[in-house]
Amino acid sequence: MSWRARPRAALLCGAAALLLAGCGATGPDRTTTTAPSTSTSAAPPSTTIAAAAALASVGHVFVVVMENLGAGPARSVPAFASLAARYESTTRWYAASHPSLPNYLALVSGSTWGITSDCTSCTVRGPNLGTQLTAAGVSWGAYFEGMPAPCFLGSQSPDGSYAQKHDPFAYFDDIRSSPALCGHLQPLSSLPPLLAGPATGVPRFVWVTPSMCHSGHDCSPAVAGSWLEGFVGTVTASAAWRQHGLLVVVWDEGDGTAGVDPATGALRAAGGGGAVLGLVAAPGAPAGRALPVPYDHYSLLATVEDVFGLPRLGAAAGAGVAPLTAFLPPGP
């Protein structure tokens, strides 16, 4: 697999990609949910030339998902407020659903697949970001704190610090059944040595799930904040981030059921997972800027796919989905 950046021209074309690999959903009590066999449709243009250039300049994307804290409470935590002041943020980011698992699936596939629980025996047969990246030759790694071994597919680690419900890639049949694909799922301990080295040694897409404690699920927001400050510092000190990297931190769900309609971009009172804090760090972006545009989990997926020239999956292709281009400094 190539660890080199894709040609800039290809990324510019990809940022305006108009094809969607769609998906379907069935009830959560089914063992496997499956996408329909005919699943592509046109996705609307969503980027200007300037925004496409900014996306094309991104070398690495880092995503960190925290747990169970609404936007307001998160901003009251000193560590999270400090990160928002140091980088960029929005408190108008809306989760897709409740509880955790549907949000994680939405972040990597554009659909909740009709799943409404944190089931561990349910799997999904359909398109996802991991297989997209692999097919396009884009290096990627998903790192989980507390995962006892690479490609661990148990419901939780023996000490309870890793939970499958916070590992969306483990739910897709194509990843589970392929040693090569499943090998992208790694313990978090394997990432810091890569970050300490050259940018070329870091996967171009990096997903990080902290432990059940450090994510804020089992421990206090203060403990989670302390961990996040340290980890963000590690990422932003790396050559991979300094050389046109993008780091996004988001919480899986907040209070309430507000959400964004992917078709129109309008806020709605039901059908979502509540407002959460989104933190965005990009070299050269203005510190402390808070953007008011409504974003959601599909915005993040759309952004990642645009950066790497991939078709947008599922709801990420909706006309009302705003990618994170406003957070990026202008491209070169």
The string of pLDDT tens digits covering residues 169-207 is 999 999 999 999 999 999 999 999 999 999 999 999 999
Q: What is the pLDDT of residue 167?
A: 98
Q: How far apart are CA 63 and CA 130, in angstroms?
A: 13
Domain CATH number, residue 208: 3.40.720
The answer to whether the CB of 132 falls within 8 A of the CB of 171 is no
Q: Is 125 within a domain?
A: yes
Band (pLDDT 50/70/90 cuts) for residue 330 is confident
The whole-number pLDDT of residue 290 equals 97
pLDDT tens digits for range 243-291: 999 999 999 999 999 999 999 999 999 999 999 999 999 999 999 999 9
The position carrying tokens 């510190």 is 287
Give the side-chain half-sphere CA count within 13 A for 204: 23
Residue 19 structural domain: 8-327
d(CA 240, CA 59): 7
In a domain? residue 268: yes
Whether 112 contacts 161, CB under 8 Å: no
Other Cβ atoms less than 10 A from the Cβ of 263: the count is: 12
Mean pLDDT of the chain: 89
Q: What is the pLDDT of residue 53?
A: 86
- Average pLDDT of span 141-160: 98
Q: Is 193 left (phi over 0), alpha (psi -120 to 50) or beta?
A: alpha
Domain presence at residue 3: no
Q: Using one digit for the tens of pLDDT, what is the confidence trace for 70-114? A: 999 999 999 999 999 999 999 999 999 999 999 999 999 999 999
CA distance 187 to 195: 14
- Looking at the domain assignment, is residue 332 inside a domain? no
Residue 170 lies in a domain: yes
- Closest Cα to residue 184, out of 263, 130, 233? 130
Rounded Cα distance, 266 and 253, in Å: 19
Q: Please name the amino acid found at residue 262.
A: P
Running DSSP on this structure, what letter comes out for residue 37? S
Q: Which residues pair with 310 in a beta bridge?
A: none
User: Any idea what the Cα angle at residue 114 is, between residues 109 and 117, rounded to 5°?
Assistant: 100
Residue 2 domain-assigned (yes or no): no
The structural domain count of the chain equals 1
Asked whether residue 1 is domain-assigned, the answer is no
